[in-house]
């Protein structure tokens, strides 16, 4: 073969022939990928060293505090840089704050609002001309707003206009009214704000202070919620939804507040701590806001009042801010304590972010002006709540623990990566498992053992629900993490045997008090055995045998093993008699159907295609089953949905087959189709795709493997068929029989409601943890008895009667 052109091309003498040129181009791309990979590995190594050098527990006085190693924040240092220039490790939780801060600078500079010749007229005109992204309801609106946003002001017109501009940009599912209360501003606010469209402007009859202005605005509120917002703020995208969504996420919430940032992006507050002496701390002040401990929703002592929201009914029941603290300061801490005294919870929601230009109204000097009341009112706060505060630590002891004083027990959940519930059913179960942990009273922590990158959507979705997530650069490497935090955990739940193999020694070394639960996800060796048998592949059978030995060894080493499948539980009972095993039901919310039988067409399949049984199922269905269905009814189409599909699946589209890929809202798929098919030929575990279809009332035709271990009965909840002819016949029968369709649709939903709820999941997990603790202490499950307080109380009553 003549390769002389290679050396000539490298010297720039000639271009490569077309085939060779493509090969060289491909090689160059591969080299670029390899260089990027090596660079990322180098970055991981560097970060790992920094984390290790950051120390262990840290803190003083013997209490625990995470290390405070400093890391660069590229978005803050280079706010104008394109995101495409950033490496994966450059992205941070709070990048959006820097972007919004820059947008605020542009608005203020555009009209010289902080300069000597501010053009307020042009600024107001610009506000009136801009489209309202936020659905703002004015005075005359018949509709009740979801939230009334009350903005008390005393001068500082520039910052009020800046605040309003960010509010008008706020993209939210909620409607709002904007109420501006002017406390007789000494500047020209009263001349310009009445001209701003879509706000309710109210001028106080006389200057009465911040508390009176807030209470006036609260009395005017028509919304279901009332939200107090300082005028020297700029709200970040997601701010409003983050606040109001929290009341659904945390049903006992009575007050929710935002995460607060200074104008330079540094942290002002991630919730507040009230110490025993009444002093109030802005937790995390001046620290890097992106640290994990600041970036998840938490119950807190109080939230600074510059961005808080309550149900309007609760605000009125409490009488708003207490005039005892007039004109200002400590009224927010007092309000939070009163909310808690009524049995409600106070939450900090970090997905709700604001830039707070602190001190623009009252200054920062506590020795003069309104700010001087901060010292006096701290004393009032202490005298009112001193008995309550006796359970608090002394200032400044153990702030890491005091930041969430209500936490009594913690669980760590470990998986390969952050769950992606829009891509695979297993991730849905992981998310629900974390929710169940919260329901049982555990503070949940999550570690992605293999992928330490902060993942903007998936990590923040967990943080929003109160899960504390570990991610680079603040945490890196499981050994580093568990060595630092292991002593905190009461229970540890690890998914997948190959993950537990890598971490079990560290868990036993550094989390000695924690019971260890192993979630099989599905029995890998069982799935591989079935695949090998289907293919008649002796090499795959040997691989399955090796996996079986490893998987059973790790099950024997765990304190309790969890499976979703009764079949797998039977297999483990046979293979490892005596090993504690719990069958944890797949958990689903029942969404129900919004479309009738007659309004639907076509059949569908949903799966994550990194899972090879799903790829095989689609190929098998199209080659062996779908032609039989089309021969009987050519109008029926097959919809293939799901994430991460290989090209071989994508290329199946055409001739009655539609490939739609990732579906963000499953209702868009399930409500258009008449039948869900699950033609799996091998696999293991209970199948989330099947339960997802049932949750939307979509009836199913499945192979036996597709419904095994989940308690689904043929002809009662689903139709079961295995041969291509039987599968096609069952699909056509269900597709054309409206009575059968309605019966199966309803039966599936009832089954989920009764046996696959999060309430049922909570019972099973609680029992599994109990069994794991017993096993860890070498006790049989019947060798410890739970104290029954009801029986004891009856015995006391009987004794008293005697």
Unique residue bearing structure tokens 């309430």? 759
Give the E-state strand segments of 525-655 in sequence order: 560-563, 581-583, 603-606, 638-641
Characterize the bridge pairing of strands 409-415 and 491-495: parallel
Predicted confidence (pLDDT) per residue in 514-532, tens digit:
999 999 988 888 888 888 8
3-class SS string, 211-231:
HHHHHHHHHHCCCCEEEEECC
Domain ranges in the chain are: 34-72, 98-402, 409-583, 598-755
pLDDT at 110 over 90: yes
Q: Are 740 and 715 in contact (CB under 8 A)?
A: no
Instruction: Tell me what the mean pLDDT of segment 381-403 comes to.
Output: 94
Instruction: Tell me what the mean pLDDT of segment 283-288 comes to.
Output: 95
Reported as a pLDDT band with limits 50, 70 and 90, residue 779 is confident
pLDDT at 685 over 80: no
- How would DSSP label each residue in 641-707? E-SS--HHHHTT-SSSEEEEE--SSHHHHHTT-SEEEE--SS--S--HHHHHHHHTT--EEE-HHHH
pLDDT score, position 683: 82
Predicted confidence (pLDDT) per residue in 589-637, tens digit:
889 998 999 999 999 999 989 888 999 999 999 999 999 999 999 999 9
What region, left, alpha or beta, does residue 284 occupy, with left being phi > 0 and alpha being psi -120 to 50 degrees?
Answer: left
Pairwise pLDDT comparison (258 vs 83), residue with the higher score: 258
Unique residue bearing structure tokens 């840089």? 81
pLDDT score, position 2: 41
Nearest partner of 326 among 440, 207, 421, 424, judged by Cα = 207
> How distant is the alpha carbon of residue 82 from its chain centre?
26
Instruction: Tell me what the mean pLDDT of segment 406-420 comes to.
Output: 94
Note the CATH number of domain 98-402. Answer: 3.90.550.10
Adjacent-strand bridge partners of 200 = 179
Instruction: Tell me what the mean pLDDT of segment 182-204 comes to.
Output: 97
The token pair that represents 269 in the structure block: 């507050």
pLDDT score, position 565: 85
Instruction: Tell me what the mean pLDDT of segment 288-297 comes to.
Output: 97
pLDDT score, position 4: 40
pLDDT score, position 30: 56
Highest mean pLDDT among 57-66, 333-342, 526-535 belongs to: 333-342
Predicted confidence (pLDDT) per residue in 740-753, tens digit:
999 999 999 999 98
- Its pTM stands at 0.82
Reported as a pLDDT band with limits 50, 70 and 90, residue 57 is very low
pLDDT at 53 over 50: no
Q: Is 657 exposed, middle or buried (0-12, 13-18, 19+ CB in 10 A)?
A: middle
Note the CATH number of domain 598-755. Answer: 3.40.50.2000
pLDDT score, position 6: 36
Predicted confidence (pLDDT) per residue in 309-335, tens digit:
999 999 999 999 999 999 889 999 999
Q: How far apart are CA 478 and CA 483, in angstroms?
A: 8
Q: How far apart are CA 372 and CA 420, in angstroms?
A: 50
Stated as kind and residue range, the H or E segment containing 516 is strand 515-519
Reported as a pLDDT band with limits 50, 70 and 90, residue 371 is low
One fold for 409-583 and 598-755: yes
What DSSP character marks residue 180?
E
Contacts of 308 (CB under 8 A, 6+ apart): 227, 228, 255, 256, 257, 258, 332, 335
Nearest partner of 412 among 440, 450, 436, 443, judged by Cα = 443
Contacts of 620 (CB under 8 A, 6+ apart): 679, 681
pLDDT at 661 over 80: yes
pLDDT at 688 over 70: yes
What DSSP character marks residue 615?
H
pLDDT score, position 528: 86
The token pair that represents 728 in the structure block: 């096609």
Maximum pairwise Cα distance, the chain: 110
Q: What are phi and psi of 210, to 5 degrees?
A: -60, -45
Among the four given CATH numbers 3.40.140.10, 3.40.50.2000, 2.40.30.10, 3.30.70.260, the one describing domain 409-583? 3.40.50.2000
Q: What percentage of residues in the chain have a pLDDT greater than 90?
A: 71
Instruction: Tell me what the mean pLDDT of segment 399-404 comes to.
Output: 93
- Arithmetic mean of pLDDT over the chain: 89
3-state class (DSSP) for residue 281: strand
Instruction: Tell me what the mean pLDDT of segment 557-571 comes to.
Output: 91
């Amino acid at each position: 073969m003549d390769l002389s052109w290679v050396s000539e091309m490298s010297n720039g003498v000639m271009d490569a022939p077309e085939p060779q040129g493509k090969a060289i181009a491909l090689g160059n791309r591969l080299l670029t990928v390899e260089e990027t990979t090596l660079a990322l590995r180098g970055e991981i190594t560097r970060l790992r060293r920094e984390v290790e050098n950051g120390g262990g527990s840290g803190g003083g006085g013997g209490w625990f505090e995470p290390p405070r190693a400093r890391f660069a924040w590229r978005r803050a240092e280079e706010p104008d840089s394109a995101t495409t220039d950033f490496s994966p490790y450059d992205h941070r939780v709070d990048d959006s704050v820097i972007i919004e801060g820059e947008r605020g600078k542009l608005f203020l500079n555009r009209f010289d609002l902080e300069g000597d010749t501010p053009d307020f007229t042009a600024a107001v005109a610009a506000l009136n001309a801009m489209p309202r992204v936020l659905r703002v309801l004015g005075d005359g609106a018949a509709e009740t707003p979801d939230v009334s946003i009350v903005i008390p002001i005393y001068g500082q017109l520039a910052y009020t206009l800046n605040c309003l501009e960010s509010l008008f940009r706020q993209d939210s599912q909620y409607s709002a009214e904007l109420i501006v209360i002017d406390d007789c501003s000494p500047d020209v606010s009263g001349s310009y704000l009445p001209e701003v469209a879509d706000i309710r402007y109210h001028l106080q009859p006389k200057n009465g202070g911040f508390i009176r202005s807030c209470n006036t605005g609260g009395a005017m509120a028509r919304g279901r919620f009332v939200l107090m917002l300082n005028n020297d703020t700029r709200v970040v995208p997601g701010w409003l939804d983050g606040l109001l969504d929290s009341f659904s996420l945390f049903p006992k919430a009575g007050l929710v507040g935002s995460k607060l940032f200074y104008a330079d992006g540094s942290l002002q507050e991630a919730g507040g701590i009230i110490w025993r002496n009444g002093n109030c701390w802005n937790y995390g002040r001046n620290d890097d806001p992106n640290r994990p401990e600041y970036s998840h929703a938490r119950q807190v002592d109080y939230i600074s009042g510059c961005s808080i929201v309550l149900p309007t009914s609760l605000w009125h029941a409490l009488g708003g801010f207490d005039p005892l603290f007039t004109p200002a300061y400590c009224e927010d801490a007092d309000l939070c304590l009163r909310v808690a005294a009524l049995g409600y919870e106070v939450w900090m929601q970090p997905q709700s972010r604001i830039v707070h230009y602190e001190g623009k109204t009252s200054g920062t000097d506590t020795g003069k002006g309104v700010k001087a009341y901060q010292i006096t009112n701290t004393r009032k706060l202490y005298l009112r709540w001193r008995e309550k505060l006796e359970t608090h630590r002394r200032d400044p002891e153990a702030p890491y623990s005091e930041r969430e004083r209500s936490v009594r027990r913690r669980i760590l959940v470990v998986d390969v990566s952050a769950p992606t519930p829009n891509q695979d059913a297993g991730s849905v179960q992981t998310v629900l498992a974390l929710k169940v942990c919260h329901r049982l009273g555990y503070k949940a922590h999550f570690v992605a053992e293999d992928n330490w990158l902060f993942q903007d959507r998936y990590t923040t979705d967990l943080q929003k629900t109160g899960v504390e997530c570990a991610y680079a650069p603040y945490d890196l490497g499981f050994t580093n993490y568990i060595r630092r935090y292991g002593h905190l955990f009461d229970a540890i739940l690890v998914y997948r045997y190959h993950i537990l193999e890598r971490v079990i020694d560290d868990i036993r070394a550094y989390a000695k008090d924690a019971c260890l639960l192993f979630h099989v996800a599905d029995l890998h060796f069982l799935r591989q055995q079935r695949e090998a048998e289907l293919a008649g592949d002796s090499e795959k059978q040997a691989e399955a045998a090796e996996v079986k030995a490893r998987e059973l060894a790790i099950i024997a080493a765990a304190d309790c093993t969890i499976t979703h499948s009764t079949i797998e539980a039977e297999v483990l009972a046979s293979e490892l008699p005596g090993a504690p095993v719990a069958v944890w039901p797949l958990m689903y919310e029942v969404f129900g159907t919004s479309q009738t039988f007659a309004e639907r067409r076509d059949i569908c399949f949903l799966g994550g295609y990194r899972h090879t049984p799903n790829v095989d199922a689609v190929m098998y269905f199209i080659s062996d089953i779908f032609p039989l269905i089309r021969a009987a009814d050519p109008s029926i189409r097959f919809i293939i949905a799901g994430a991460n599909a290989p090209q071989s699946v994508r290329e199946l589209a055409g001739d009655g087959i539609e490939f739609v890929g990732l579906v963000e809202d499953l209702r868009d798929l399930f409500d258009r189709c008449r039948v869900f098919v699950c033609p799996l030929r091998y696999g293991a575990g209970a199948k989330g795709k099947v339960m997802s279809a049932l949750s939307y009332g979509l009836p199913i035709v499945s192979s036996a493997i597709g419904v095994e271990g989940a308690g689904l009965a043929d002809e009662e909840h689903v139709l079961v068929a295995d041969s291509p002819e039987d599968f096609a016949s069952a699909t056509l029968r269900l597709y054309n029989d409206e009575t059968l369709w309605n019966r199966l649709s309803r039966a599936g939903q009832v089954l989920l409601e009764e046996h696959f709820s999060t309430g049922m999941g909570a019972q099973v997990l609680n029992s599994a943890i109990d069994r794991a603790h017993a096993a860890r202490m070498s006790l049989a499950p019947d060798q410890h008895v739970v104290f029954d307080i009801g029986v004891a109380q009856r015995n006391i009553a009987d004794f008293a009667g005697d």
